[in-house]
Amino acid sequence: MLDHIVRDIKEKGWSFRENILTPHDMSVISDFFYSHRNEFEAARIGKGQSRQRNENIRGDYTFWIDPLNPPAPFSKIMDTLEKLKLELNRDIFLGAREYECHLAYYPPGTYYQKHVDRFENDSSRVLSFVFYLHETWNEGDGGELILYGENEIRISPRPGSLVVFLSDDLPHEVKAATIERRSFTGWMHSKIIY
C-alpha cells in the first residue's frame, strides 16, 4: 500500500487509496467525533494575527490533534503517516519532519474554495494528507475534492480512503456535500514546528 503511494507521488504528485481504514477503525473514530462535538471550532483562514473566519471561503469546523500524543483512535493513522514519511524521505528526499493535523467536519452545504496549502510567507508544508471519516458516502452526495493539476482530478471522498499530495503549488477545492463530510486532515512540515 505505502509503496503504491510513493510511486504515485513520484509519478504525478498525488495519490488516492481506498480502504486504508477498517470498519472497526471507522466506528471508533465516529464515537470520538460524537463525544468531542462541542470542542470543534469554526476553522479560520490565514496564519498568526491575520487569521479570520470567512464562511464564503471555508465552512468547516476543526479539532486539532497533537501528533506527538494522538488520542487512541488516531494512533493507526499516525503510524501509517510515520511509515509513509520515512519512505518518502528516503525515496524522494521529501525532507518531512513534523506533523500538523486536525479533524474537520463540514456541515451539509459548506465547502472550501480553491486554495493552495502553502502560506506565502512560510513554505514549510511539504505534503498534505486527508483521511475521509464520514460513515457513508454515495455518488451524488457531493463533497468531492478537486485537484487542479495538469488535468482536473475529481476525488470521491469514500469513507476510509486516503488522499495525499505535494503541498507545493497544487490548487484544490472541497465541494459542498449533502451529508456531513468528515476528515482527518494535515500536513508534513520540513521544519520543526513544535
Q: Where along the sequence are the contacts to Mn ion (CB under 5 A)? A: 117
Contact 10, 91 (CB under 8 A): yes
Between CA 134 and CA 67 the distance in angstroms is 21
Q: Are 46 and 86 in contact (CB under 8 A)?
A: no
Q: Which of residues 29-68 bind ligand OGA (CB under 6 A)?
A: none
Question: Closest approach of Cβ 59 to ligand OGA, in Å?
Answer: 11
Q: Which is nearer to ligand OGA, 59 or 73 (CB)?
A: 59
What is the contact mask toward ligand OGA in residues 109 to 148, using x (rule: CB under 6 A)? ---x----x------------x--------------x---
Q: At what angle do helices 75-92 and 2-12 cross, to 10 degrees?
A: 50
Beta pairing class for 125-132 and 181-189: antiparallel
Residue closest to Mn ion, measured at CB: 117
Closest by Cα among 67, 60, 95 to 181: 60
Shortest distance in whole angstroms from residue 113 CB to ligand OGA: 10
Q: Please work out the total of residues on this chain that contact ligand OGA, with binding judged by CB under 6 A.
A: 8
Give, rounded to a whole angstrom, the gap between the first and last alpha carbons of the chain: 29
What is d(CA 183, CA 105) in angstroms, rounded to the nearest whole number? 7
CA distance 65 to 74: 9
Of positions 73, 77, 183, 189, contacts ligand OGA by CB under 6 A = 183
Residue 145's binding partner among ligand OGA, Mn ion, none (Cβ under 5 to 8 angstroms by kind) is ligand OGA
**Nearest distance from residue 162's CB to ligand OGA, in Å?**
11
Does the footprint of ligand OGA cover residue 167 (CB under 6 A)?
Answer: no
Which residues make up the interface to ligand OGA (CB under 6 A)?
Answer: 112, 117, 130, 145, 172, 174, 183, 185
